[in-house]
């Protein structure tokens, strides 16, 4: 059953999509209409997303991942935003260590 995005996942998406370009603006507008439909099985906080496509327009054509960034010390992780058909579809975090990232790090640690 779909569930709302957590406050931490929402803050992460907002930080990652903080650009002034049309793609970032369109994807930011989708956040209030996005729901979590699946979680990663490894124990990390990666989430599959579904956007109510009747409530908001798709983003203009763009590369995938739409955003790729990393977290600096002390987290040492990467984070990606994927889309499907112009709509948010995956917020993925990966660890550079053997341990999964089990909580969204503070977005202030994001490095582009």
Q: Which of 48, 56, 109 is nearest to 83 (CA)?
A: 48
Please write the tens of the pLDDT for every residue from 70-105: 998 888 899 999 999 999 999 999 998 888 999 999
Task: Identify how many contiguous H helices and E strands the chain contains and give both numbers.
Answer: 2, 7
Please write the tens of the pLDDT for every residue from 23-79: 999 999 999 999 999 999 999 999 999 999 999 999 999 999 999 999 988 888 999
Q: What are phi and psi of 31, to 5 degrees?
A: -55, -45
Domain boundaries, the chain: 3-111
Cis peptide bond N-terminal to 46, omega within 30: no
CA angle 82, 59, 4 (to 5 degrees): 60
Mean pLDDT of 7-15: 98
Question: Whole-structure pTM over 0.85, yes or no?
Answer: yes
């Amino acid at each position: 059953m779909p569930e709302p995005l957590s406050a931490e996942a929402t803050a992460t998406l907002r930080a990652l999509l903080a650009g002034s370009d049309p793609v970032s603006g369109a994807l930011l507008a989708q956040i209030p209409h996005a729901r979590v439909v699946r979680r990663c099985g490894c124990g990390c906080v990666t989430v599959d997303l579904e956007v109510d496509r009747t409530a908001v327009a798709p983003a203009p054509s763009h590369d995938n991942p739409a955003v790729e960034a990393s977290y600096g010390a002390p987290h040492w992780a990467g984070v990606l935003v994927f889309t499907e058909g112009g709509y948010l579809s995956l917020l993925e975090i990966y660890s550079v260590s053997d341990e999964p990232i089990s909580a969204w790090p503070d977005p202030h640690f994001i490095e582009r």
